[in-house]
Amino acid sequence: MCTKAENKNRPKGELFFQQLLKMLKFYNTKQMGNSSQTESIINDCVALCVDLYECDSNYEVLFNRCRDFIISTLRQYNYQPNLPNKRHNTPNALCYLPYPIKILIYTMAYRAIELYDNASDKTKKAVQKAKKKPSQSEILKFIGDPACQGYRLSDKTFTEFGISPNKFYAINNYQQIELPSTYAGAKTGYLGYVINYLVEYAGTIDHFVDLFGGSANASIAVNHTNNVEYHINEIDPTLINYYYVISDKHLYTQYMAELCKIRDLLKGYLDNNTAETQGQVFYMTCKNTLTQWNKAHLQHCLVPCHQGNSIHLLNFAQYHSIPNNDKVDVAIAYTYLHCFPTTGGNSSTGAVTVAKIRKFCGFSEKEFDKFHKKMHRLNTVYSSDILTNNSSLIEYYINKAPKRYKSIERLAESIRKGTTPFNIDSKDNELLRLLGKGKDGKPRLFCTLFYSDSPYLNTAGYQGGGINENQIQTLIERLVNASNNGSHFIFSCRASKSIEDSKFQKLIKIIGNLKDFKELLDPEEIYTDRTYIEEATYKRKDLSAKRYLKDAIKLLAENQSIYQNIFSVFNLYSDKFKRKYYVLVCLEKNRFDKINKDVSFSAALENLMPIEVFITDYDYLCPLDCNDKQRKRNYKFIKYEISEFCKKLDKHMFKSTKTPSIESNSQGNYTLKSSN
């Protein structure tokens, strides 16, 4: 018996069908509509699709209803059956399949997979015993069951339509790989889901380049596609080594064996109550290991340099001459240290507690295997400082042919320029056909999708002291140039920084409703130090207005910098090149529940909430609300064009460009002033 789907955020009734319709129409590239559809067929399809998502225990009866309806509709439209041992007399018979019927077949396949995954383990075993896990092929066989005199539909029912239930199910049900180690700024959970979602909407790409690798969470969030080559870039030699160890089959096997030994040792220390002491000793050993590695390899890591039309990895041979044991030890040290995150990025043995050691010892080897499988697909690991002026990695991957098209790279370029040779051999001709054509009818440009999750402005703790305004503007310029030459980008950043929750609540108690930051800056309002009742203990607490107002002023200046040097720059390029850039805003709904506010972008800005956004140079359908069951949090996504997004920022947070300050007097009163 299957359980009812738990996604309460799914639109009900016709709203769900319309959302599904938009998603499929938006994505498919070979839509074959049928203008003779009757209103009754559309209405019946809507009803059946909705029933599929509201069914519980009677799903088998409902699937039979769907099959009977599909078969009767196909007969009504004179769809020619593909019977065994009988040649199909109607060419391209799929074009006679009404569009709503395609939607219904798609929904059946999608829902069958979802019902299976939501079922209990006992039900799954029963299904597996009778037949394999539901798939789009199984649904097509079910519809065309000869015993029911059905119509035999091939997999082209989906591929010719340009859709795939399996693919969309993977997108909408993204599961983050859970590792014991964490990394500052890593895109996990709902942010990993968004990255995967946006990459799928980028269309046909040849390369995926993660410009700021970090923990590699962005790279592993992307579903693997055989026709895409994956590359990762990072400047930290420790992380570069980590990528190589995790992605290499032999090194990974050695790495996991060592990691499990350490886990077993720590488990023994937990039993005799010496885990914290021993864990801290090992922590310092790992820290020294990474320090020595960075000193030895910081100036000799794999640095790509531009020579002619290619990028060569310097010191590649030197790296591979290092003993494998050393590489594994450094990867182990990185993993262990990042199991004990500390505030502000400062390493400290004090972070090694019994609770965290116990959590480390509970890691799943299967999750590491998933990580290895994802990383094993990497084609190249680069070490390039994307923030410097001499970096050429972005330029190198503009219109770059992947390996499978190397032999026709020059041929495709010559055809684009109008100098087509008279004779093209059959092999090259086949590759040109697979490459496809652009809107001009000539071979399409090779497309790279650049994912950028650079250090944020005004954020300390990054190697080299963070990122300045000139660097971020240069990075944006390069991404825009790549986009103008046929590639795509996803730019990840914060829309605003926020005060930590505890400070924010105290700030609200001082100044009341922080509806709009400009209200703080325009009038010369006076705030007095006072006490307030702590609701949890009912004790009076002292509160310093000056201290927390300074936090607010600093925050405003930082947010103003983000606005002027990121979003305004993208907006200017949008106007200059008449290109549409889109912003996906990610909001945590639970935060709005705490302050009793409706979920909206403006409310998030007015209440100093942290807001993550993604900027793309291509259109996409805004994802539905997301329920992160692991972290027990819900998320809402809002899509804007860049100009509309900037207007929202300007209206609700970034109105003032004045320099604020605080003045005090002997009575403990503080005046908030601002000057041009």
Record the pTM.
0.82
Range with the poorest average pLDDT among 328-342, 410-424, 561-575? 410-424
Give the model's pLDDT for residue 280: 92
When pLDDT is cut at 50, 70 and 90, the band that residue 587 belongs to is: very high
What pLDDT is recorded for position 574? 94
Question: Per-residue pLDDT averaged across 313-324, rounded?
Answer: 75
For residues 3 and 120, is the Cβ–Cβ distance under 8 A?
yes
Mean pLDDT calculated for residue range 338-342: 83
Percentage of residues in the chain having pLDDT higher than 90: 29
In the predicted model, is pLDDT for residue 439 greater than 90?
no
Reported as a pLDDT band with limits 50, 70 and 90, residue 518 is very low
| CB contact set of 628 (below 8 Å; sequence gap of 6+) | 189, 190, 634, 635
Q: Has residue 154 got a pLDDT over 80?
A: no
pLDDT band, very low/low/confident/very high, at 310 (cuts 50, 70, 90): very low
Mean pLDDT for the stretch of residues 494-518:
60
pLDDT category of residue 33 using cuts at 50, 70 and 90: very low
- What pLDDT shows up at residue 603? 87
Q: What is the pLDDT of residue 514?
A: 46
pLDDT top residue among 533 and 607: 607
Quick one: residue 638, left, alpha or beta (phi over 0 = left, psi -120 to 50 = alpha)?
A: beta
Compute the average pLDDT of residues 123-139: 63
Q: What pLDDT sits at residue 531?
A: 56
Residues 164-196: tens digit of each pLDDT:
777 777 777 788 888 888 887 788 888 999 999
What is residue 258's predicted lDDT score, i.e. its pLDDT?
96
At 35 the pLDDT is: 47
| pLDDT computed for residue 295 by the predictor | 81
How large is the average pLDDT for residues 48-69? 82
Of 424-428, 478-482, 542-546, least confident by mean pLDDT is 542-546
CA distance readout (Å), 552 to 50, 500, 510: 48, 11, 12
Range in 21-35, 216-230, 456-470 the model is least confident about: 21-35
pLDDT for residue 368: 95
- Rounded to 5 degrees, φ, ψ at 176 are -70, 135
Please tell me which residue, 116 or 488, carries the higher pLDDT value: 488
The answer for residues whose C-beta is within 8 angstroms of residue 415's C-beta and 6 or more apart is 432, 442, 443
pLDDT band at 83 (very low <50, low <70, confident <90, very high): low
Out of 17-31, 337-351, 520-534, 635-649, the most confident range is: 635-649
Residue 284 has pLDDT above 90, yes or no: yes
The pLDDT score that the predictor gives to residue 354 is 92
Helix (H) or strand (E) holding 567: none
pLDDT digits (tens, 9 = 90+) for 527-568: 555 555 555 555 555 555 566 666 776 777 788 888 888 999
User: What number is the average pLDDT over the span 336-345?
Assistant: 75
Per-residue pLDDT, averaged over 60-77, amounts to 84
- Each residue's pLDDT tens digit, 210-260: 999 988 989 988 888 888 999 999 888 899 899 999 999 999 999 999 999
The pLDDT of residue 476 is 92
Closest CA relative to residue 396, chosen from 211, 243, 218, 221: 211
Rounded to the nearest integer, the mean pLDDT of the chain is 78
Place of tokens 């000139």: 470
Task: Inform me whether the pLDDT recorded for 198 exceeds 70.
Answer: yes
- The answer to whether 212 and 495 have CB atoms below 8 angstroms apart is no
- Residue 101's alpha-carbon distances to 50, 54, 81, in angstroms, are 14, 19, 15
> How many C-beta neighbours within 10 Å does residue 594 have?
10
Instruction: Indicate the domain borders of the chain.
Output: 13-172, 238-381, 403-445, 499-600+608-675
- What is the per-residue pLDDT for 573? 93
> Over 90: is that where the pLDDT of 85 sits?
no
The pLDDT of 109-129, averaged and rounded, is 70
Lowest mean pLDDT among 89-93, 484-488, 504-508, 545-549: 89-93
CA dist 500 and 507 (Å) reads: 11
Assess whether pLDDT exceeds 50 at residue 329: yes
Residue 16, pLDDT above cutoff 90: no
Whether the CB-CB separation of 620 and 201 falls below 8 Å is answered with yes
pLDDT in tens, 359-404: 999 999 999 999 999 999 998 888 888 887 666 889 999 999 999 8
Query: What is d(CA 213, CA 624) in angstroms, rounded to the nearest whole number?
Result: 27
Q: How far apart are CA 562 and CA 453, in angstroms?
A: 14
Q: What is the number of other CB atoms lying within 10 angstroms of the CB of residue 94?
A: 18
Average pLDDT over residues 256-281: 93
The predicted model gives 613-622 an average pLDDT of 92
